[in-house]
Homo-oligomer: A and B are copies of this chain.
């Protein structure tokens, strides 16, 4: 248990500039706040995969979630981009601000462990299909002692969304849920999920319909408002709360001082 720990997830979506976030992180860390940063990288993966002649295949699972079909080749491109490009560029930016950032992915030291999902049931043209050679997974265990050791020595862990299966296979995981699992394992005070909307909207995409507060007991009732990737975020919110996180904030990553604003309660606060 690290008092006042904040876990922040920054999305990989278009329109999110990491600069204001890195400034906020530097200010908070400079005041002695322990912090873990988790990031995505889907958008950059798509761009590089396209340039490498392996365009992404986005699918809709039978449960209605949007996801990426991750065959082995796609996994290796994803790993390269998130752990080698997005992660290292974030670490570099933070180091330039004197933040003692240390990048890791979930495979490193088995930081994030889970089951591999080796096939994907999808709906395409109204039909259910099964795709094999899938390399994704869901985080079930977090190597909390590793993060605690790093935090206690003043590092800011920066985590790329990969995990390792119990059999030692690298898998692609959802960054929001990885952040939630980390927040739960470390009993974080606050989990902030930054995205490209101001929070949960009652009538997506109308930003005037932002839901500012959700009592933690009522979270289930708000799932029907979630569209697209927001469904996964709400699953993450629920997992974090069940794991003992005091407060979760879904907030806008596109604004100035995104982290300061989120911590001040701007966005959808669940507590």
Residues in chain A within 8 A of chain B (CB atoms): 48, 51-53, 76, 79-85, 87-89, 91-92, 95-98, 100-105, 107-110, 145-146, 149-150, 153, 155, 162, 164, 167-170
On whether A83 and B88 interact (CB within 8 A), knowing A51-B53, A52-B51, A96-B168, the answer reads yes
Report chain B residues within 8 Å CB of A79.
84-85, 88-89
Give A109's nearest chain B residue, CB to CB. B102
28 contacts between A and B (CB under 8 A): A48-B80, A52-B52, A76-B89, A79-B84, A79-B85, A79-B88, A79-B89, A80-B80, A80-B84, A82-B84, A83-B88, A84-B85, A88-B162, A88-B170, A89-B170, A91-B107, A91-B108, A92-B170, A95-B107, A95-B164, A96-B167, A96-B168, A96-B169, A98-B168, A100-B110, A101-B108, A102-B108, A149-B153
Give A154's nearest chain B residue, CB to CB. B109
When chains A and B are docked, how far (Å) is the Cα of A60 from the Cα of B105? 36
Report chain B residues within 8 Å CB of A107.
88, 91-92, 95, 103
Rank and list the top 4 A-B pairs by shortest CB-CB distance, nearest first: A84-B84, A96-B168, A80-B84, A102-B109
CB A150 to nearest CB in B, in angstroms, measures 8
Report chain B residues within 8 Å CB of A170.
88-89, 92
CB A210 to nearest CB in B, in angstroms, measures 36
Give A150's nearest chain B residue, CB to CB. B109
Specify the main secondary structure of chain A where it touches its partner: helix
Taking a contact as CB atoms under 8 Å apart, the answer to whether A83 and B87 are in contact is yes
When chains A and B are docked, how far (Å) is the Cα of A145 from the Cα of B149? 12
Most buried by B among A52, A92, A170: A92
On whether A105 and B104 interact (CB within 8 A), knowing A84-B83, A87-B83, the answer reads no
CB A108 to nearest CB in B, in angstroms, measures 5
Report chain B residues within 8 Å CB of A85.
76, 79-80, 84
Taking a contact as CB atoms under 8 Å apart, the answer to whether A155 and B109 are in contact is yes
When chains A and B are docked, how far (Å) is the Cα of A89 from the Cα of B80? 10
Partner of A92, one of B52, B91, B153, B169: B169
When chains A and B are docked, how far (Å) is the Cα of A139 from the Cα of B49? 32
Give A98's nearest chain B residue, CB to CB. B168
CB A141 to nearest CB in B, in angstroms, measures 14
Report chain B residues within 8 Å CB of A95.
107, 110, 164, 168
Most buried by B among A87, A88, A103: A88
Apart from the given pairs A76-B85, A92-B168, 5 other A-B contacts in the complex at a CB distance below 8 Å: A81-B84, A88-B105, A102-B109, A104-B108, A145-B153
